[in-house]
Amino acid sequence: MFKKILLVLLVVLIIMQFLRPEKNIAQGPSTNDISTHFKIPVDVQTILNKSCNDCHSNNTKYPWYSQLQPVAWWLNDHINEGKQHLNFSEFATYSLRKQYHKLEEVAEQVEKGEMPLSSYTIMHTNAKLSKGEKDKLISWSSALRDTMKAQYPIDSLVKKKQ
Rounded Cα distance between 52 and 106, Å, is: 10
Position 156 scores a pLDDT of: 61
Q: What is the pLDDT of residue 93?
A: 95
Task: Let me know if residue 123 belongs to a domain.
Answer: yes
Q: Is residue 162 part of a domain?
A: no
pLDDT at 121: 83
Please give the pLDDT value at position 109. Answer: 95
10-residue stretch averages of pLDDT, the chain, 162 residues long: 79 70 78 92 95 92 79 82 94 93 96 90 87 96 93 68 50
pLDDT on residue 3: 84
Q: Is residue 125 part of a domain?
A: yes
The residue segments making up the domain with residue 12 are 2-157
| CA atoms of 127 and 114, how far apart (whole Å) | 13
In a domain, 14, yes or no: yes
Rounded to an integer, what distance in angstroms lies between the CA atom of residue 136 and that of residue 50?
Answer: 14
Could you tell me if residue 9 is inside a domain? yes
Domain count, the chain: 1
| DSSP type of residue 161 | P
Backbone phi, psi, residue 161, to 5°: -90, 130
Angle, CA of 56, 150 and 156, to the nearest 5°? 65
Q: Output the pTM of the full model.
A: 0.81
Instruction: Specify the pLDDT at position 10.
Output: 73
